[in-house]
Amino acid sequence: MPDPVSSSTPVPTRILLGGGGSAEDERPIFERFAAWVGGGHVLYLPIAADQPSSAHLAWLMAALAALGVQQIDMWTTLAGHQPAELRGFAGIFIGGGNTYWLLHQLRTGGFGDAIRDFALGGGVVYGGSAGAIVLGANISTCAHIDHNDVGIADMHGLNLLDGHAVWCHYQAADFPLTQVFVRRTRLPTYLLAETTG
């Protein structure tokens, strides 16, 4: 029988967002990710990238190995995988690329709800660039840099950030566009430059 005190204790939600850029730009965020994951197994999803390859895995392993993360699996596609497999990981690392393509794959494979449940259940989730945007309430913040070749009409993201949207690769020149987005959607929005998270 579960302990009633521990079963009612809220599970912390541990989500990290990276604005994009190099591993060095995001090192403080990577350090937090590694600390939260501990020695646990990490799933890397570079599925927003144009052609995910072993070079993606080598990049992440180089960035995280020095921080104590040694076990990283990479899925270059969600085909052949089931959402229930996420339960075997301590953390999920969602990389950048095309945000529309990323959201399309998550929805088609049934992984949108699974990642949401994983995060709300205490799993660690890192999203960088497109991976960060998709964790927000609305992905239209990517419209000025990504092409919607998959024809997504529903721009709702996974909404894991208390109703906030995420604008990545932010530069001062983007400010007028951010104002249009906020007025249109009425969503509070995190503006993340490439050296922030």
Residue 6: its pLDDT value, please? 47
Rg of the Cα trace of the chain?
Answer: 16
CB 161 within 8 A of CB 127: no
DSSP classification of residue 47 = T
Q: Which residue ranges of the chain lie beneath pLDDT 70?
A: 1-10
Q: If DSSP codes are grouped into helix, strand and coil, which group holds residue 81?
A: coil
Residue 8: its pLDDT value, please? 57
pTM of the model: 0.92
Which residues of the chain form beta strands (DSSP E)? 14-18, 42-45, 72-74, 91-94, 124-128, 165-167, 189-191
For the chain, helix (H) and strand (E) counts, in that order, are 7, 7
Measured CA to CA, the distance from residue 171 to residue 151 in angstroms comes to 27
How, if at all, do strands 124-128 and 165-167 pair? unpaired
Residue 39: its pLDDT value, please? 87
Residue 173: its pLDDT value, please? 96
How many CA atoms within 13 Å lie on the side-chain side of 18?
Answer: 26
Residue 9: its pLDDT value, please? 63
CB 106 within 8 A of CB 77: no
